[in-house]
Amino acid sequence: MPAEPVAPPAVTEDDPGGRTARRLVTVVALAAVLPVLYWPGRVHNFFDLKIYMRAMDWWAAGHPLYDYVQPDRVQGALYFTYPPFAALLLRPFALLPLGATVVIFTGLTVLGVVVTTRWLVTPMVRRHDLPRLFTLTVAVVLVFAVESTRETITFGQINMLLVVLILADLLFAVPGGRRWAGVGVGLATALKLFPGIFILYLLATRRWRAAMVASATATVATLLAAAVAPGDSWRFWTHELWATDRVGRTDYTGNQSLFGLLSRITAPEKPSQLPWLLLALAVTGYGLWRAARAARAGDVLAGITLTGLVGGLVSPITWTHHLYWFIPAVVVLVDSALDDDPHTVGGARRRRWLLTLAVGTGFVIIYGVVTFLDWGVAPARTDSLGEFVARNAYVLLSLLLLVVLPYRRARPERPAAS
């Protein structure tokens, strides 16, 4: 009697080879989308980095730094707008060929994305026993897909340097009580002002020493720049800092701040300062209150994220490449969703809500507000609800997350078995 044929073993969830293959296919499929997302940004051609380098050449030739200007199709005219301390750090790069500077800036940004994503995701991987390499790889690919990352790379921006300084300080140095805690936030503030919101966060969370160190670091860096370039420093702090028109049109869709939203409502006229100031104060107070509560509860990442969202909202100019802080927001949402028990009615419902919000946030920040849409070159008033939502997507998403972003409460350690 012939032997019955033996069926091949079925591929199950416990099959290591099948699982590895599926993970590899997932990573490759996600990475394959990146060229499509980066293709429109090729027109930027490291535009901002070229402005920096041309301004440094202009400065090195003996001209006043803040006299540098070049025409722009969208903004009209663009200037060098960073504080003098940033100019001191950028000036040596003008000695290099532009191609070498592009490679260095791009390489540092890529390294910054990998390092900071690892900092954000590793605690979640450990808490929920997720596959480490696969989760980190997927997370890194997704971060590279986000519009703020794409704009940072294709414009040649320095945003990831600031993010590295801030996260290294607030995730590790400050919670660990290091003597140098606050230095990273201080340096970032001296480079680009926007990170100054994190000094307020340190004050709100009663990290008095770290707040003083951050303030002192920013002051020393600023005084160092003043000693090297006294005239340019005086001009920046007394005049150029307050001239928002030097940065670009506030009504342009790429400006995803509260002031940008108001500017798009009143364009071509500028909005009244008083309503914006009142709105900014209210958002700052509420956002830092929530950030402080999150930090006191033990969720430092949620506190940092809420503070970053506040900074983006209240700054008069918040370009899309500034808005890194949606990325940790997605991590916080996913982490909180995995905390919930899916076997209870309340836990399952909350998990669905958090995962839906995480996916929705991911979709918005990957598609973006300027990459695939042409908003024209002239001031245009927002005149429909759909256009209002599309042109202010990041502002509205920031306000939503400011209210609903959850935070994890620190759980007491289990006593060791005797």
Average pLDDT score over residue span 60-86:
88
* Whole-number pLDDT of residue 382: 84
d(CA 189, CA 82): 11
Residue 341 has pLDDT above 50, yes or no: yes
Q: Pull the structure tokens for residue 118.
A: 């690892």
Residue 387 has pLDDT above 50, yes or no: yes
Q: Which residue has the higher pLDDT, 257 or 77?
A: 257
The neighbour count for residue 370, using CB atoms within 10 Å, is: 20
Residue 93 near residue 56 (C-beta atoms within 8 A): yes
d(CA 338, CA 413): 19
Instruction: Give me the residues paired with residue 296 across strands.
Output: none
Tokens 């936030």 belong to 185
Tokens 């970053």 belong to 308
d(CA 166, CA 188): 7
Please tell me the number of Cα atoms within 13 Å of 77 on its side-chain side: 8
Query: Does the predicted TM-score (pTM) go above 0.85?
Result: yes
Average pLDDT score over residue span 368-388:
87
H or E element that contains 109? helix 98-128
Could you write out the DSSP letters of every residue in 148-173?
Answer: HHHHHHHHT--HHHHHHHHHIIIIII
Instruction: Give me the residues paired with residue 204 across strands.
Output: none
Tokens 């073993």 belong to 9
- Identify the CA nearest to 109 among candidates 54, 50, 158, 47: 158
69 sits in the region (left: phi over 0; alpha: psi -120 to 50; else beta) called beta
Q: Give tens-digit pLDDT for 155-203.
A: 999 999 999 999 999 999 999 999 999 999 999 999 999 999 999 999 9
* Whole-number pLDDT of residue 14: 58
Cα angle at 82 between 81 and 85, to 5 degrees? 145
- Identify the CA nearest to 276 among candidates 256, 288, 262: 262
d(CA 211, CA 183): 9
Residue 300 has pLDDT above 70, yes or no: yes
Could you write out the DSSP letters of every residue in 54-95?
Answer: HHHHHHHTT--GGG-EEEETTTEEEE--S-HHHHHHHGGGGG
For residue 13, the SS3 value is: coil
Residue 417 has pLDDT above 80, yes or no: no
Average pLDDT score over residue span 35-57:
95
Residue 411 DSSP symbol: P
Residue 246 has pLDDT above 90, yes or no: no
> What totals of helices (H) and strands (E) does the chain contain, helices first?
18, 2
* Whole-number pLDDT of residue 287: 98
Instruction: Indicate the burial class of 375 (C-beta count within 10 angstroms; 0-12, 13-18, 19 or more).
Output: middle
* Whole-number pLDDT of residue 418: 32
* Whole-number pLDDT of residue 383: 81
Q: Pull the structure tokens for residue 306.
A: 């809420």
Q: Return the minimum-mean-pLDDT range out of 71-75, 220-224, 266-270.
A: 71-75
d(CA 383, CA 289): 34
Average pLDDT score over residue span 50-59:
95
Residue 11 has pLDDT above 50, yes or no: no
Instruction: Give the β-pairing of 76-79 and 69-72.
Output: antiparallel
Average pLDDT score over residue span 376-380:
77
- Identify the CA nearest to 59 among candidates 49, 73, 69: 69
Q: Pull the structure tokens for residue 87.
A: 């100019």
Average pLDDT score over residue span 13-19:
72
Residue 379 has pLDDT above 90, yes or no: no
pLDDT band at 234 (very low <50, low <70, confident <90, very high): very high
Residue 376 has pLDDT above 80, yes or no: no
